[in-house]
Amino acid sequence: MATDKTNLQLVVNGILNENPIFRLVLSMCPAVGISTTVMNGFMLGIAVLFVQVCSSCTISLFKNVIHPRIRIPTYTLTIATWVTVIDMVLAAYLPEAYAKMGIFIKLIVAFAIITMRLEMFACKESVNASFWDGIGMGLGFMFGMMALGFVRELLGMGTILGYDVLGFKPLLFFVLPFAGFFCVGLMMAFFNYVEIVYKRAKRA
Amino acid sequence: MKNILTIIFRLTVACLLAGLVMGTTFILTNKAKKHNIHVNEQKVMLSLLGFSEKNPAPASVAMHEVYRYLVGEGEGLGMGYLLPLRDGTYSFVTLDLAGGFVAQTPVAISPEKVVEESERTPAIGAAIGAEKPLRYADQTIVVTNDGKRMAYLLPGRFPGFKTFINAMLAVDPGFSILGLEIMEHEEDPGLGAEIDQEYFKNQFKGKQLETVKKLEVVKTPLPEEYRKGLEADKSGLGAEEVARIQEQYKDNDIYALTGATISSRSVTNGVKAMVKKFAYRVAILDRVLAEQHIATPF
């Protein structure tokens, strides 16, 4: 049962149609907890992108020898291995990047989005399709995190990427974790609205 | 039955493979990782003492490492310090729990090997007789300038929100804090991870022993003027202005980070415990060194 989508369609699918945060509503804990600034969102996005692509390719490669009854433990094992390997390699060869990225990478092991993508996609599809699906999901997650980070950083601290753009702090409430829920909810509504408008325009 | 055996077999193979991959990566990267940590530590030590690449430490400044051990068990528990001596050799001084001198044993080890725990501990064990259990506790770096004590560097480890926080603390001979640096932590980004930001860790700068002893965390917002003083690199305030702000707030408690009271409290309590215990221990060690006429370079 191979996918009939092209590589580009797979990537766009991850960013828009099946955006991990706004459409699949997965990995909400990090989305709510960490998306306080654009930079944090970007960092976690990069980390997820790497782990997603590596894990998807691995599972896709070994899909025929994984016993169906122990799929999930095998996925968790794969993700944990990749997280550990990336963590150690970064610490050894890119200490500057590790100083910034380290805490984000260690956070990933239990992310729902990665496990879910392995279960829904990588265990049925070819390595090539899984690779592009991983890229799409990673970029989609990064886009969602950065969009959330943008709103929360601007409204909470009055800054973008650390630069003071407003000169004052409008609503400190937005940097606190529970404000993440409000942001996710409002942005989800916004994206749904865009979709409805788009569909209507297409029909008309 | 056959099914279960297949499952067990495949899961075992998967675990072994994962272990093999992680183990291989560990062996390949560990040396480089250790080297990076060491380089970073050296840099942090110098910056905590106020030196940098532009303003290098003068040749009269020297660092002497003292390693603390727990010796024995139960009733016979005592403390041991591995000290460098003036003639370049090492000596292991054992104290009992009341702080009384027990023994001084020379330890045959070279300065290159003493930094490796796997080399150091067996060497001490061989010197004092292997029947006593020996446990490494921590290390202290005594910084001297022209033979006079200038500062102590204390690498420390205390529990954070999820796991341990590794930090390095610099105190002057009167136990006032010169600076705090967070070396490694796993606090949540955007919340507890802010502990490594200047506006938090610089709050400890300039606090005296008496203040540190009763340091608490307060949840009131950080005053804007204080924040500017703490982030001198960002706000561009002059050294005089920073010193004035530091003086004004030096007896204040620590302002908690927004949404991360537990992390703020862990760091504050960790620093408090480190300074208090160190001040107590170093007084005992100094008394013993003076009584026994042990010639250390500090």
B23 with B116, same domain: the answer is no
CA distance B168 to chain A (A): 16
Whether residues B125 and B14 fall in one domain: no
B15 to chain A, closest Cα gap in Å? 7
Contact by Cβ (8 Å): A80, A109: yes
B262 to chain A: which residues are within 8 Å by CB?
Answer: none
Closest CB to A74: pick one of B14, B21, B31.
Answer: B14
**What residues does each domain of chain A span?**
7-203
Please tell me whether residues B40 and B122 are part of one structural domain.
no
What per-residue confidence (pLDDT) applies to B130?
Answer: 63
User: What 3-state class would DSSP assign to A170?
Assistant: coil
| Range name among A2-16, A109-123, B160-174 with the lowest pLDDT average | A2-16
Same domain, B32 and B72: no
**Mutation target vs A (from B10, B38, B42; most A CBs, 10 A cutoff):** B10
- The verdict on B2 and B100 lying in the same domain is no
- The phi, psi pair for B151, rounded to 5°, reads -165, 165
pLDDT of A132 over the 90 cut: yes
Q: Is residue B56 part of a domain?
A: no
The count of C-alpha atoms lying within 13 angstroms of the C-alpha of A127, restricted to the half-sphere facing its C-beta, is 6
What is the identity of the amino acid at A84? T
Both B102 and B44 in one domain: the answer is: no
Name the band, by pLDDT with cuts 50, 70 and 90, for residue B17: very high
- Residue B297 placed within a domain: no
Mean pLDDT value across chain B: 86
**Which chain A residues touch B26 with a CB distance below 8 Å?**
88
At residue A2, does pLDDT exceed 70?
no
pTM, full prediction:
0.77
| H or E stretch at B208 | none
Strands B217-218 and B254-255: parallel
Same domain assignment for residues B23 and B143: no
CA A178 – CA A171 distance, rounded (Å): 13
H or E element, residue A197: helix A179-203
The string of pLDDT tens digits covering residues B86-120 is 888 888 888 888 888 888 888 888 888 888 888 88
CB contact under 8 A, B25 and A85: yes
Q: Residue A130: what pLDDT?
A: 92
Give whichever of A48-62, B75-89, B93-107 has the largest mean pLDDT: A48-62
For the beta carbon of residue A114, count every other beta carbon within 10 angstroms: 32
Q: How far apart are CA B54 and CA B95, in angstroms?
A: 43
Model confidence over B236-254: pLDDT tens digits? 777 788 888 888 888 888 9
> What domain range is B6 assigned to?
1-48
- What is the signed CA dihedral for A43, A49, A79, A14, rounded to 10 degrees? 130
Tokens of B174: 């009167």
B269 is a domain residue: yes
The percent of residues above 90 in pLDDT, for chain B, comes to: 20
**Complex prediction ipTM:** 0.78
Do B140 and B245 reside in the same domain of the chain? yes
Of the candidates A114, A146, A137, the one whose C-alpha atom is nearest the C-alpha of residue A34 is A146
**Using CA of residue B95, residue B97, residue B99, residue B102, what is the dihedral sign?**
negative
Whether the pLDDT of residue A154 is over 80: the answer is: yes
The arithmetic mean of pLDDT across residues B1-8, rounded, is 87
Position B157, amino acid: R
Q: How many domains does chain B have?
A: 2
Do residues B27 and B143 share a domain?
no
Q: CA torsion sign, A62 to A64 to A66 to A68?
A: positive
Residue B298 has pLDDT above 80, yes or no: no
A104 vs B: CB within 8 A: yes
Residue B54 forms part of a structural domain = no
* Dihedral sign for Cα atoms in the order B157, B28, B119, B42: negative
Q: For B33-66, how does the pLDDT look when each residue is reduced to its tens digit (9 = 90+)?
A: 888 888 888 888 888 888 877 778 788 888 888 9
Instruction: Establish if B266 belongs to a structural domain.
Output: yes
CA A179/CA A156 separation, integer angstroms: 10
Minimum mean pLDDT range among A30-44, A125-139, B10-24, B151-165: A30-44
Same domain membership, residue B167 and residue B26: no
* CA-closest candidate to residue B275, choices B136, B156, B139: B156
Please check the confidence at residue B26 and state whether its pLDDT lies above 90: yes
- Tokens standing for residue B57: 């430490």
Q: Which of B65, B70, B66, B64 is nearest to B136 (CA)?
A: B70
**CB A74 to CB B30 under 8 A?**
no
Residue B192 has pLDDT above 90, yes or no: no
Residue B76 in any domain: the answer is yes
